[in-house]
Structure 1
Amino acid sequence: MKKVIYRNFLKDCLIFFTIALISGSTIIWVFQAVNYLDIIIDDGRNYLVYLQYSLLNFPKILTRIFPFAFFFSFSYVISKYEIKNELIIFWNNGVKKINFINYFFIVSIFLLLIQIILTTIIVPKSQNLARNLMRTSEFNFVENFIKVKKFNATINNLTIYSEDKDNNESYKNIYIKRKINDKDFQIIFAKKGEFKTNSNNPTLLLYEGENINISNENITNFSFEKSEFNLSPFSSNTILVKKTQEHFTEELIECAINLINKTNLEKIIKKVRNCEVKNLNNILSELYKRLVIPLYLPALMLTLLLLIVYSKEKINYSKKRVLVFLIGFFIIIFSETTLRFVKDSNARNFLIILLPIILSITYYFYYLSILKKN
């Protein structure tokens, strides 16, 4: 009987948690997908790349929503059971509150492991795949690169503008500015332009224009009837270098250990591009997000289980329920804000890592004390 009660209660919690997690992540993903649309489409890449890139960022959103969905869903179900007097069935069937707390504490450990798998394996892998996708995908200049009546500077050191476009896919009154270095640049005007077809290299054919070169404060110019402007040497402004958050967890751990101990630096820097002393704080912060922040899930579970300790028949139950919610959200926010205190100080970092464990132990001894009195 007890197993059936536990199973049904857990089933309700997990169903609500899954719905809250997926629906919340999907809403945020839709909003972010709009931003990705500007980045990728304006950058001259096709819609398939945009769709793949957006989907690869979905696991990252899941990890951000995970603690909020966890706390909201479990606290909602527990409150609903208490308000409808359904928790009394548990106590009347011999379920002890401390056993109930132990059971759901173990559940929080399993959810903690799922969160760590997401943050340490799945998210870095998906982020790395997304970056590789951007790095290897080709520009679709013909359909996306030149925007009519809009200066397009998504390509490094290059700005292109077109006044109009006719039905034959030809651009009118084209302006091109190519930056050579900090002082030298090239400007091209043309009455007409069109992309060269059947070519592996993206090339813009220009007609009836003028080329102006400014080099060492000297100006040279010449007119042309027809000219070709090769776009293949240029690259996108999109950051293609692998970021810290896109490295695998074992790489970051190895990097952090070597930087702290100052050993094998030349070897590890080949594996982790930005494995440098000046980047150590960022590496430690990334490891903290992946390995330590999930440790607050058991503390959150023990926080919301305060709802079963305070009966709704007692005075000020509604105020205590609001207080439990506020404490839970404070813990979530606190777990994120402690990120700024992660530095290259081993003593401080060790203390920060112990905080969620100390919080969980404190909660548990509080339950033992108060339930023993009751």
Structure 2
Amino acid sequence: MKKIIFRKFLFDYLKFFLIALISSATVIWVFQAVNFLDIMIEDGKDYFVYIKYSLLNYPKTISRIFIFVLFFSLYYVTIKYELNNELILFWNFGINKIKLVNFIFKISIFLTIFHIFLNSFVVPHTQIHAKSLLKTSEINFFDNFIKGKKFNDTIKGLTIYAEEKDNSGELKNLYIKRELDEQQFQITYAKRGEFDIIGNIPLLVLYNGATITSENSSVTNISFSKSDFSLANLKSNTVTYVKTQEMHSSKLIKCIQNIYNLTDRLNSSDNIIENCNIKNIRNVLKEVYKRFIVPFYIPVVSIISLMLIILSKENPKYQKLKITIFLIGFFIILFSETTSRLISNNIFENILLFLIPLLLIFLSYMFLLFKFNKIEKI
């Protein structure tokens, strides 16, 4: 019977948690997806690139709200059980309060491992894949990214400027510079231009202009009344620099090892890691902290939420207890997100900061143990 009661509590808890997590993440993701429309409008990407890029950012959204939703879910379910007199079943069947705490603590350890996996593997992988998607995708909607009186260098090796663009999409007084290689470039002037597609090949049709080609020390000038400028197979000029938060976790750890333990090998070809240097080590340590240490606040907020069972709803102090527990849990979550700012370049000075969640787990558990023992003696 005890197993059935625990299973029911776990089912209600995880059910509410998953629904709340997916719902909250989806709402936030939708607002973010609206901002991602710039990728299609400004850079001329097609709808499939936009959808894929938006979906690849969904795991990051889940990761950011994971701990708060988990705390709120356990907080809500525990209050609901108390108000519906369901917690009395636990005590009537001989289940001690500390046993319930131990049960939830074990579940929180599994959720901590999952969150570490999400932070350290899934999120970085999807972020790198999202950036790679922008880098390798072709330009499809050329009408979108060329605007009047604005230089556009979205396409790699190509700069386009139009003095004016009317409502029909016709461009006036165009300037196009195309870099053919390191020592060769081409500049085209035209009084007007318009987009066209011939045989699935996008073209910029230019009228009344000239093309100047510079190759080494020679320059050629060719005038035209009409010229087709092909826009096929052009790639985006998206920045490919890997940010610290996009680095693989194995590279982050190896970077720390290289800088603190293998400095003499740092410049060797086998140990060179992009974005890994002394100046950036603080950001590397921050990212390691967010991926591997912050998830350990999950057991902390889980234990704190179960402090609600110290008192019953009949106790006049129960309402005050609910508010206090929520504020403490919220403060702990806020603390876990902001302590990354305290990370320093010295890895040994950060050890205490890394140990804080373990210390909070111990203190909160001992507090509950003390309270329950004190209640049983009364």
Provide the residue aligned with 1:218 in structure 2: none
The equivalent residue for 2:356 is 355
1:50-77 CA-to-partner distances (Å, cap 9, x unmatched) read 1111111111111011011101111000
Answer yes or no: is 1:302 the counterpart of 2:268. Answer: no
Secondary structure of the corresponding residue to residue 207 of structure 2: strand
Which amino acid letter does the alignment assign opposite residue 348 of structure 2?
A
After superposition, give the CA deviation of every residue in 1:24-83 in whole Å (9 maximum; x if it has no partner).
000111111111111233201111111111111111111011011101111000011112
Match of 2:132 in 1: 132
User: Cα distance 1:191–1:253, how it changes in 2: closer, same or farther (>3 A)?
Assistant: same
Question: Partner of 1:307: helix, strand, or coil?
Answer: helix
Q: 1:197 & 1:259 partners in 2: Cα distance?
A: 56
Q: Cα distance, 1:158 vs. partner?
A: 3.1
Give how far 1:232 is off.
Answer: 7.9
- The equivalences for 1:1-374 within 5 A come to 1-147=1-147, 151=150, 153=152, 155=154, 158-161=159-162, 162-164=164-166, 166=168, 171-176=170-175, 188-195=189-196, 197=198, 204-209=204-209, 224-227=224-227, 236=236, 238-261=238-261, 262-267=263-268, 272-374=273-375
| Matched residue count | 361
Counterparts of 1:271 and 1:46, CA distance in 2: 36
Q: Residue 99 of structure 1 aligns to a residue in which SS? A: helix
| Offset, 1:177 | 6.6
SS in 2 for 1:194: strand
Q: What amino acid does structure 2 have at the position aligned with 1:164?
A: D
Q: What is the CA distance between 1:123 and its match in structure 2?
A: 0.9
SS in 1 for 2:36: helix
Q: What's the CA shift string for 1:67-100, capped at 9, x where partnerless?
A: 1110111100001111222111110110000111
Go from structure 1 to structure 2 and tell me whether the alpha carbon gap of 1:150 and 1:3 turns closer, same or farther (over 3 Å shift): farther
Q: TM-score, normalised by structure 2?
A: 0.86
* Aligned-partner residue type, residue 350 of structure 1: I
Structure 1 residues not aligned, in runs of 5+: 214-220
The DSSP-based 3-state class of the residue aligned with 2:43 is: coil
CA contact (8 A) 2:135 2:235 kept: no
Match of 1:204, SS state, is strand
What is the alpha-carbon root mean square deviation over aligned residues? 3.0
CA deviation after TM superposition for structure 1 residue 304, in Å: 0.3
Q: Hey, what's the Cα distance between the residues in 2 that align with 1:60 and 1:5?
A: 34
Partner of 1:216: none
User: Secondary structure at the residue paired with 1:176?
Assistant: strand
1:255 touches 1:272 (CA, 8 Å); kept in 2?
Answer: yes
Q: Which whole-Å CA distance do the structure 1 matches of 2:205 and 2:293 have between them?
A: 56
Q: TM-score, normalised by structure 1?
A: 0.86
Contact in 1 for aligned 2:71/2:305 (Cα 8 Å): yes
Q: 1:272 offset after TM fit, Å?
A: 2.6
Separation in 2 of the partners of 1:234 and 1:285?
Answer: 38
Q: What letter corresponds to residue 163 of structure 1 in structure 2?
A: K
- Partner-residue secondary structure (3-state), 1:320: helix
Deviations 1:163-208 (A, max 9, x none): 2264xxx72424437599xxxx9784522333574597x6533112
Quote the Cα distance in structure 2 between the aligned partners of 1:192 and 1:110: 61
Whole-angstrom CA distance in 1 between matches of 2:44 and 2:73: 42
Deviations 1:343-371 (A, max 9, x none): 21123211111000000000111112111
Q: Is the 8 A contact 2:192 2:208 kept in 1?
A: yes
Give yes or no for contact 2:56–2:127 (8 Å, CA) kept in 1.
Answer: yes
**Secondary structure at 1:153 match in 2:** coil
Aligned partners of 1:45 and 1:144 also within 8 Å: no
CA distance in 2, matches of 1:195, 1:160: 18
